[in-house]
Amino acid sequence: MNEKMMGIGKNILANCLAIKEGELFLIVADEAKRDIAESLYEAGKALRAEAMLMVMQKREKSGQEPPATVAAAMKAADVVVCVTEHSLTHTQARKRAVEAGARLATMPGITKDMFLEGAISADYEQVRLLTEQVTDLLTKGRHVRIEKDGYSLEFDITERQGIASTGMYLNPGESGNLPSGEAFIAPVEGSAFGTIIVDGSVAGIGKLSSPLTLTIEEGRLVKADGKDADSLLHILGKEDGRLLGEFGIGTNDKARITGVVLEDEKVYGTIHVAFGSNATFGGTISAGVHIDSVVMKPTVYLDEALIMENGILINK
């Protein structure tokens, strides 16, 4: 057992999830992430929680539901950590576990490097404060415009609730990613139009060697240009996976562009848009897929007020 990994695991469980002696603590993993999951299992035992580890076969894509047995165990636990290759964040299993009162963290795609360095090492009280400020802006906002390299994408967020993924899930029913640091929201379906340059990374593809140019009409991705365009379209499928489902802003100053979206979308100075499911956080799309795409150093307007200029938050 890697003692450093177990030590970091104990710190995460104590400080980010407030795990207590005797609580039912479930780690959901797939075979690819078993080593990290076992470190968390040992950390949970060391903290005297009732630790359990479930290892399932790898999902085919982010947003795909886990097996029914895993979903039932998630709903029954006090604390859940999902350490998987593909994300369980935007699944009904995650949503139902949280509704039942679980404190839950997802770690999709996490690597040993990410577990030991980078975003995981942030001052999460500082991350929480900035994330909540940006989330409040999104909740009060009505219209978003993103500009980069001469292109513009616009969409409506009227009466949609911003979500704060702070990295601290201390109360029943709180959940989000670890490592974390993002404020996100579900755009009004069908409202998005324009073009956006994605030049950071894409879930399921990794760090981009050249930008993608994505064109959206009536909320749907209608054209993708660039080296990885065909791969993105294949992952999304031809149905509701191509609908714009999320807009997010990174708030973690320790996060790095690694090629793993779990960390990339948290980088301060980036925003991300996702296609596919958003029914788990205030939207109406249930597509069985959710793919985040990270944009570096954009300019963002909220109700025509500048809130980010070339990646720097202005009004926070």
Mapping DSSP to helix (H, G, I), strand (E, B) and coil, where does residue 254 land?
coil
206 touches 231 (CB < 8 A): no
91 touches 80 (CB < 8 A): no
Kindly state the percentage of the chain with pLDDT values over 90. 84
CATH 3.40.1160.10 at 3-116, yes or no = no
Q: What average pLDDT does the chain have? A: 94
For the chain, the domains span 3-116, 120-313
Structure confidence by residue, pLDDT tens digits, 30-50: 999 999 999 999 999 999 999
What's the rounded mean pLDDT across residues 67-72? 97
Whole-model pTM? 0.84
Order of all β-strands in the sheet with 290-296: 163-165, 182-185, 244-250, 270-276, 290-296, 201-202, 206-207
Mapping DSSP to helix (H, G, I), strand (E, B) and coil, where does residue 99 land?
helix
What's the rounded mean pLDDT across residues 114-123? 88
Dihedral, CA of residue 125, residue 283, residue 144 and residue 232, to nearest 10: 90
269 touches 210 (CB < 8 A): no
CA 23 to mean position of chain CA atoms: 26
Question: 215 pLDDT exceeds 70?
Answer: yes
What's the rounded mean pLDDT across residues 66-84? 97
Question: 150 pLDDT exceeds 60?
Answer: yes
Phi-psi region of 259 (alpha: psi -120 to 50; beta: other; left: phi over 0): left
Instruction: Look up residue 20 and give its two tokens.
Output: 């207590």
Instruction: Look up residue 251 and give its two tokens.
Output: 């708030």
d(CA 217, CA 266): 27
Question: Which of 4-13, 207-216, 226-235 is predicted least confidently?
Answer: 4-13
Report residue 315's pLDDT band, with 50, 70 and 90 as the boundaries. Answer: low
Report residue 5's pLDDT band, with 50, 70 and 90 as the boundaries. Answer: confident
Question: 316 pLDDT exceeds 60?
Answer: no
